[in-house]
Amino acid sequence: MSHSGAEHWNQWAETLNREELDALHLRRLKRVLDYAWARSAFYRQHWQRAGFHPDMVQSLDDFKHRVPLTDKQDFLQMQEDFPPYGPTVAVGAADISHHAETSGSTGLPLRIPFTDYDTERYGESWIYGWWVLGIRPHDSFYFAFNWGNYAGFWSAYWGVRRLGATVYSGGGQTTEQHVRNILGLKPTVLISTPSYALRILEAAREMGIDLSASSLRFTYHAGEPGPCSLASVRRKLDEGFGAISGELLGIAEVDAVAPGCRLRHGVHMSEMSNFSWSMDPRSHEEVADGVIAENVVTTYANSAQPLINYRTHDLVRAYNRPPCGCDMTWRYLDGVVLGRSDYMVTVKGTNVYPAAVENLISDVPGVSPYFQLILSREGSFDELLIRLEPDSHISSQEWDGIAEEVVRRIKDVVGVRLRAEVAAPGSLPRHDLKAERIVDLRRDEFRRELDRQGGQ
């Protein structure tokens, strides 16, 4: 009996109504609390200090407001003091089957232990996003990824194994070899960061190869803002590969938390493997649907190092009742991640989240996915300069108009007039893993000061 025609990987779970999902979460969160209390020295101590006991949770409101928050810094400190993991682990060493690390893009890398069971659950989260896009067990995945300690694409590998599809490893290959492998192996899905997929497209063009005529029918991305976050990236990927691009929001130490949405203007949280809510980063109060706030997550996918009421510092516009228009009922993050609560600058008296500016720039027609936000400090004030590359087909006479449009849109939405300058096509740096669009030239003491003001 074939089930490849089903619209969902798990129809029942993906279409539960909010009340049913909340009832499920309450039961499961109690399980997680009891588990952590019984097994984790860190949580027992953390909770006892705050006067909390798992028996105090009788509702989701109790959970959100009574369970003490945790933060990456708590875990980093214990790993530093008691390597490799400190007292946060909840299982014996023999049950840790995989070690990964965060990419360190917001600071020191965090060490992440997983049990065998965790890898199954973590990998599963990817599949929800793949399936609604049309990816099935008969598909074959090419990984343009070098298999280091970066958790993101290891979990995609676990997902492909769980889906029952084929894995082609592109580890240790040059960009040109990836192009040749795609032609030779004929995979149907490419897995990479969005910026590296764009790099592959450029390399193919330089080799005289049109990848829109290749076997690829889908490309899927994580690690940085991709096709569900940035319209220009979606256009470039879809056109360049002649395929449908998708995006997953992953938080390495937590889960492949939000595997995508069929309509690709945001992502749905995987409610089988995590529970999340939106918190005002200053008052710690819950906010209503549609209000930009910090995503606070509890994972069901990491039993080796539980993360409970964990501050992600990701600013999201979340809806517990999704308005996206697809039939998945899981919590929806419109535009994916819009900024960081711990990374904000004040320009001309206005608070500006660089990630939100990235999203606005990307929506302007004629702007390529290659741009930089250059932060500097002039006297007592932060300055933010936008340096952007126009699409290669745009004539140089139109460049100034595009820069003016970028400035106008940011002024309209964010309320501050920034400077924008145009760089020649092909002149800004390309990256193999994550695009580094934010260039912070400020001295360290100013960054720390401003980060604290931003959301701690």
Partner 1 sequence: MVNGQAKAVDDLGRLYEATRDLLAQTDVPAVRQCLRTSLNNLHWALWLMGAEPSFVPDYVSLPDGRQAF
Residues near partner 1 (CB under 8 A) are 10-13, 24, 27-28, 31-32, 34-35, 39-41, 89-95, 115-117, 120-121, 124, 272, 300, 303
Residue 385 CB contacts under 8 Å (≥ 6 apart), including other chains: 373, 374, 376, 418, 419, 420, 421
Residue 384 CB contacts under 8 Å (≥ 6 apart), including other chains: 345, 347, 352, 354, 357, 373, 374, 375, 418, 419
- Residue closer to partner 1 (CB basis): 41 or 50: 41
- Residue closer to partner 1 (CB basis): 92 or 323: 92
Q: Name the residue type at position 128.
A: Y
CA 245 to chain centre: 15
Q: What is the CB neighbour count within 10 angstroms for residue 291?
A: 12
| CB 409 to partner 1: min, Å | 43
| CB 10 to partner 1: min, Å | 6
What are the E-state strand segments in 173-217?
189-192
Which residue in 354, 330, 308 sits closest to 129, CA to CA?
330
- Residue closer to partner 1 (CB basis): 41 or 441: 41
| CB 226 to partner 1: min, Å | 27
> Helix, strand, or coil here: 333?
strand
Distance CA 258, CA 220 (A): 13
- Residue closer to partner 1 (CB basis): 124 or 253: 124
| CB 96 to partner 1: min, Å | 10
CA 306 to chain centre: 19
| CB 139 to partner 1: min, Å | 21
- Residue closer to partner 1 (CB basis): 10 or 350: 10
| CB 453 to partner 1: min, Å | 38
- Residue closer to partner 1 (CB basis): 24 or 167: 24
Which tokens belong to 222?
Answer: 């994580």
- Residue closer to partner 1 (CB basis): 23 or 50: 23
- Residue closer to partner 1 (CB basis): 44 or 136: 44
| CB 31 to partner 1: min, Å | 4
- Residue closer to partner 1 (CB basis): 88 or 102: 88
Distance CA 421, CA 15 (A): 46
| CB 44 to partner 1: min, Å | 11
| CB 271 to partner 1: min, Å | 11
Residue 395 CB contacts under 8 Å (≥ 6 apart), including other chains: none
Distance CA 328, CA 259 (A): 12
Burial letters 11-31, b for 16+ CB under 10 A, else e: eebbebeeeebeeebbebbee
Distance CA 315, CA 324 (A): 18
Which tokens belong to 91?
Answer: 């299982």
